[in-house]
Structure 1
Amino acid sequence: MAIAGAPMRYIGINVGALAIGLTMLALLERTVAAGQRWTDGAITAMAGALLATAFLGSEVDGAARWVSFGGLAIQPSLILLPVMLIAFSRSRSVLATAGIIAAAAAMALQPDRAMAGMLVLCLAALAVIRRDMLAAVALAAGVTGFAATLARADTLPAVPYVDQILYSSFDVHVGAGLAVLGGMAMLLIPAIVGWSQDNNNCATYAAFGAAWFAAIMAAALGNYPTPIVGYGGSAIIGYALSLLALPKLSRVRAGAVCRRSGAKDGSPSDRRLFVALA
């Protein structure tokens, strides 16, 4: 962004969003670990927030995807939908499925083709890995919502430093373009590493990878925000929150060691998570 001449305010907002995301990750990690039974309620509450955005959010050219806070436009779907989908992969229930269906309806109403595509790709991955009725119902709702977004024209123009970054960065400098491609690839590392080292949670890592791969493809194919490497704090905070929904590799390994040694399961620190994130 700096090489491309983006305003320093944009870079400052991204850095601030990263600080907020890391802070939320640190503060919420212990709460989430101690209260998995609240996952269904959290998914439902986030779905309600997405529906509220569709009806009450700031509208631009017929699309209501944003909420304004102090002059900043926040896109709730980029913050909430990835963590919803990853949480759904770990704890599927009737209530959680209803939340995902509501989210699909919200994406159709906003409309947000990119996020609807994320929902479909993620649920398709889950349906392939874990074949059950709830996953199939959620996928059907997602496909319906995505079809609704395709039926409506998306006329929003590209925003500088936000959309089409995968192409405009190479127009500025080849180094900037390679940095963008490298940044995109790094977003998928947690899914690749987790898939290879934690066979018990393959569905969760597949959901994570599918969600962020869909965001990357949407940015490549249309005028949609380029996650992390483009201007916009919503994707940065959403990425940090989606890490929160992943199993901690340190816990997986420590639990295995404890079981082999006959010791009680403990709660090792998550320093490896933050090292990986850095």
Structure 2
Amino acid sequence: MLLLLVIAHSCNEKRKTFKPNASEKMSKKVYVEDSIENLIFIDKAITIENYFQFIDSIVSKYDTLTPYKLSEHILVRANPWIIDTLQNTDYYKRISKDSFVFDQKKMVVLPKGTMLKVPDAVFAKKIKNSFKSTLIDINIPEFKLRIYNASKLVYEFPIRVGRDEEMYLEMSGRVQDLKTKTGEGQIVNHVRNPRYINPVNNHEYFVTKRDDDKVTKLPQIPFIETEINGIRNGQLIHPTTNAVTLGKAYSNGCVGTNEADAWVIYYYAPIETKVHIRYDLNVVNKEGDSIVLKDIYNKK
């Protein structure tokens, strides 16, 4: 079921800075635990609108030099401060600090003078093994998305889910069940520069009204496409620009997160990451008490 059309174009560590001499090149090698690690000096500020192109250029260049298959996700997970910086571009995080951001794409995410490290083979293998043991777990009536690594809870995020109703969607040309579908599956695609289209009327839009009634341009944050029970039904994991809708059955079937959390999920969910979407009413809260959730889809 196609619920939203998106089209793609095409631990914590401190940032290290240094001032290169004229003879120093854009990158240098240092020996770390008997293996070679590349340090890449960023000589100009990189904004979000140029971020993916820049990261892709680094991956393309250094993939020929590493003894393993380098990827965007490995590179960024080896430099976790990037995720922290991306999280802090969240509109609501900025507005809480009295910083209004009209166009998130113009924000600097890789400041001039910082460095990236290309991980050595040992570190890269550790990251790849972590990806293989990662699970994205979503419990619909709990409005929670959790990231597990080898059964250990790493993150827990609030979400919104699909509404309990049927509606005619101009995009698909038929009446659709808007409930979020349950099942087992995996991540099959990343849309790093999505178009925002309302599936109800098939209208593309470029600005959004925030919860505080201010209007901003739409942010560039990756959408994540899932395949559940072997079916790609357009059920995405993506950010919402209206955080007030989290904790509600509000969407056209997709799983919505806030902007900051969407960046974390993206970098913990490379292609083939396992996904489990469930509908469990009986859960245990953080205090250890067994509780019964509201049956938002009236399944009983």
TM-score norm. by structure 2 comes to 0.24
Q: Which has the larger radius of gyration?
A: 2
Q: TM-score, normalised by structure 1?
A: 0.25
More helix by share: 1
